[in-house]
Amino acid sequence: MFDVRRSIFKKKETMSYKDFFKQSKIQWLMLGLFAAVIFSINIWADGIYSAQEGRAALVARQMIKTGNWMHLNIKDAHNTEKPVMCYWFYALSGSIFGVNEFSVRLPSILAALATVLLTCALGMRMYGRRTGLLAGYIMASMMGFVNLSRLARIDIVLCAFYTASMYLLYTGYFEKMKANRRLYLFYLVLALSVMIKGPVSVALVAITVIVLVIKERNWKIIRELKPISGLLIGLAINAPWYTYEIIRTQGEFANDFFLNQNISRFTGVNMSYSGGKRRSFFHYIPKLLVFALPWSLLLPFALFNFRKKFFKLKPATYYLLIWFLVVFVFFSLAAVKRGDYLLPLFAPMTILLGRYLECFVENGAKLSKKWRIGWIVLVIVGAAALIIIRFGLLGHVGELVVKDEIKWISYRDGMGMVQASNLINDMYIWCCIAAAIVFAYLYFLGKILEKGEMKKALNTILVVFLAYFCIFYIWIDPSQNKYKTVKYFCERSRQQVKPDEKVCYYAEWITEAVFFMDRDYDRHGSLAGIYDKESGKIKYKYIITEPDEYNKLPAELKNKLEKLEETIPDHQYPHVLLRAKKVLGSR
């Protein structure tokens, strides 16, 4: 017995450095730590600056304060836009950590981490351990996915549930084309996703299954998927709350959520969003390429290499391709388009990219010496971009977008261009040095790939990405928060407005301001709501609005107001706090 134990310990002692990192548990742990650091680094930094974040914080605070967790409750706001389940996550987190930046973003971080691990697990089942791990690392370092994972947005939580449902659908039936118990878990998770954001996930899954059935030319698949059982599970999960909410709102929830938020947004009929304008079908092509950077640079090469193999792919690959295309085409057909709608297609995209990279590793592929030509082109393009930014062209384009003179770019992207231009010009020398370091690293990477050392290249890339995200979210991104959040404006404004006094939000409002002001309020969209023409007196002592709305006020009204606080120039959400010199009813 002693000899056996000694041999075991000796074996452990002689385990090599490489063997240690080849252990399955260690590889899972490293992937989880890699993703967790990127998603959560400095997440508590000041600045709730997304409309959904402000809404999440307000609802969570109200649920905790009142003890009523059955429905959304924001004063003078649409409270019938979304189901309640995701807000339970925000409130639960807020009840533990307090309602703040960290607590409202924690559900997104956990959802993003779960999505990465689920994607890795699915990739492993389909193609092996290496592909799964590559897919996980690719997803955890895609710039768009990382950015959305760090915000309190419902779509990233939905993405986790949708990825889990598609994993269970594959392992519960399509992996062996035979149903097993995981199919019931698939229906359970899919039903919960309906409690997150409604029936959109069911529609996507249904279309995917129909396409797969057509591809297999086997209509028996539908019966074997046990749809009746799935329907009963879905009704058991969703019917109680949806019925309660429809009855409580006397049908308003059904009208607003189902007709307005879902059907109208998709079809564009009677649509009030985006000015009632339908975006182009091709809107998501550049958006996806930007979101998936830097890994999207591999997409053209992957498509070119697999062009002759498309009709000879294995069933798992077809499953991923159909999953990807259904999500992409579905939302491309929708009238309203937002970048986070694409989140459910990141899992199949990253698994396919992971498989593509694994083929390079297996084949020991090498770059030809012609890669230097591409490197020179990149250097020229990068230098030209820095020169163009220095002369203000990027900022000028951003200003045109903000003025709505360029229709196909969103207002927020335009503000981002202006801020990026200002940041780069303010730190121009440092940016040039950083660009030189990047180009030097790319040259070093090219030399490694020229030798066929793909594993070494991938390891260095992941280390560089981890360092980049840490630097960006610790130093660079926080320096821009003053342009994105109204927190600092509200902190100054709270010193002007006593806790027992009411604020009026006129014309435009954002939920972040309501959250950070933490004062009772009314909301009005017309001049009559704040001003009594007959008496010539203002109805509210304190008014918060946008500077543009303030400038549009009649001169006689503006003369009766004094400006107390204002956001800094070039702020994404400009606000001004006004105080009336004389209020209706006062002496």
Map residue 136 onto helix, strand or coil.
helix
Contact 200, 262 (CB under 8 A): yes
Do 392 and 528 fall into the same domain?
no
Q: Are residues 238 and 99 in the same domain?
A: yes
Q: Annotate 41-96 with DSSP letters as a single string.
A: TTTTSS---SHHHHHHHHHHHHHHHH---SS---TTS--SSS-SHHHHHHHHHHHH
The one-character DSSP state at 526 is S
372 and 356: one domain? no
pLDDT of residue 111: 98
pTM for the complete prediction? 0.89
Q: Looking at residue 542, what DSSP letter applies?
A: E
Q: pLDDT-based confidence at 270, cuts 50/70/90?
A: low
Q: Where are the alpha helices (DSSP H) in 391-427?
A: 393-402, 411-426
Residues 497 and 426 in one domain: no
Q: Kind of pairing, strands 537-538 and 531-532? A: antiparallel
**Cα radius of gyration (the chain):** 27
Q: Same domain, yes or no, for 358 and 390?
A: no
Q: Do both 404 and 423 map to the same domain?
A: yes
Q: Are residues 384 and 351 part of one domain?
A: no
> Distance of alpha carbon 102 from its chain centroid, rounded?
16
Predicted confidence (pLDDT) at residue 488 exceeds the cutoff of 60: yes
Residue 190: inside a domain: yes
Per-residue confidence (pLDDT) for residue 503, from 0 to 100: 95
136 versus 569: the higher-pLDDT residue is 136
CA–CA separation, 408 and 281 (whole Å):
12
Q: Cα–Cα distance between 442 and 461 in angstroms, integer?
A: 10
Q: Which residue has the higher pLDDT, 294 or 46?
A: 294
Buried b (16+ CB within 10 A) or exposed e, 302-340: eeeebeeeeeeeebbbbbbbbbbebbbebbbebbbbbbb
- State pLDDT tens for residues 1-39: 445 444 444 444 556 656 666 788 889 999 999 999 999
144-195 tens-digit pLDDT: 999 999 999 999 999 999 999 999 999 999 999 999 999 999 999 999 999 9
Domain membership flag for residue 431: yes
Residue 587 has pLDDT above 50, yes or no: no
Which of 318, 340, 362 marks a domain boundary? 362
**441 and 538 part of one domain:** no
CA angle (271, 272, 276) in 5-degree steps: 70
Exposure pattern of 523-534 as b/e (b: 16+ CB <10 Å)?
A: bbeeeeebbeee
Average pLDDT over residues 521-540: 89
Contact in structure between 90 and 103 (CB atoms under 8 Å): yes
Q: Is the pLDDT of residue 499 over 60?
A: yes
* Range from 35-49, 65-79, 220-234, 523-537 that averages highest in pLDDT: 220-234
Is 469 part of a structural domain of the chain? no
C-alpha–C-alpha distance, residues 55 and 65, integer Å: 15
Average pLDDT estimate for 474-492: 88
State residue 7's pLDDT score.
47
Contact by Cβ (8 Å): 521, 501: no
pLDDT-derived band of residue 108, with 50, 70 and 90 as boundaries?
Answer: very high
Helix (H, G, I), strand (E, B) or coil at 250: coil
Q: Which residue range forms the structural domain that includes residue 528?
A: 487-580
Number of domains in the chain: 3
Band the pLDDT of 286: cuts 50, 70, 90.
confident
The type of residue at 115 is T
Judge if 101 and 170 occupy the same domain: yes
Q: What is the pLDDT of residue 8?
A: 46
Establish if 134 belongs to a structural domain.
yes
Tell me: do 447 and 571 sit in the same domain.
no
| Mean local confidence (pLDDT), 113-135 | 96
pLDDT at 306: 64
Length of the chain (residues):
587
300, 332, 362 - which closes a domain: 362
Range 402-410 average pLDDT: 70
Residue 567's region, left for phi above 0, alpha for psi from -120 to 50, else beta, is: beta
Instruction: Give domain status of residue 183, yes or no.
Output: yes
Share of the chain above pLDDT 70, in %: 91
Averaged pLDDT for residues 204-217: 95
537 forms beta bridges with 532
Report how far apart, in Å, the C-alpha atoms of 393 and of each of 399, 403, 571 are. 10, 15, 19
Are residues 243 and 357 both part of a single domain?
A: yes
Query: What order of strands is seen across the sheet that includes strand 503-506?
Result: 521-524, 503-506, 542-545, 576-580, 561-566
Does residue 141 share a domain with residue 33? Answer: yes
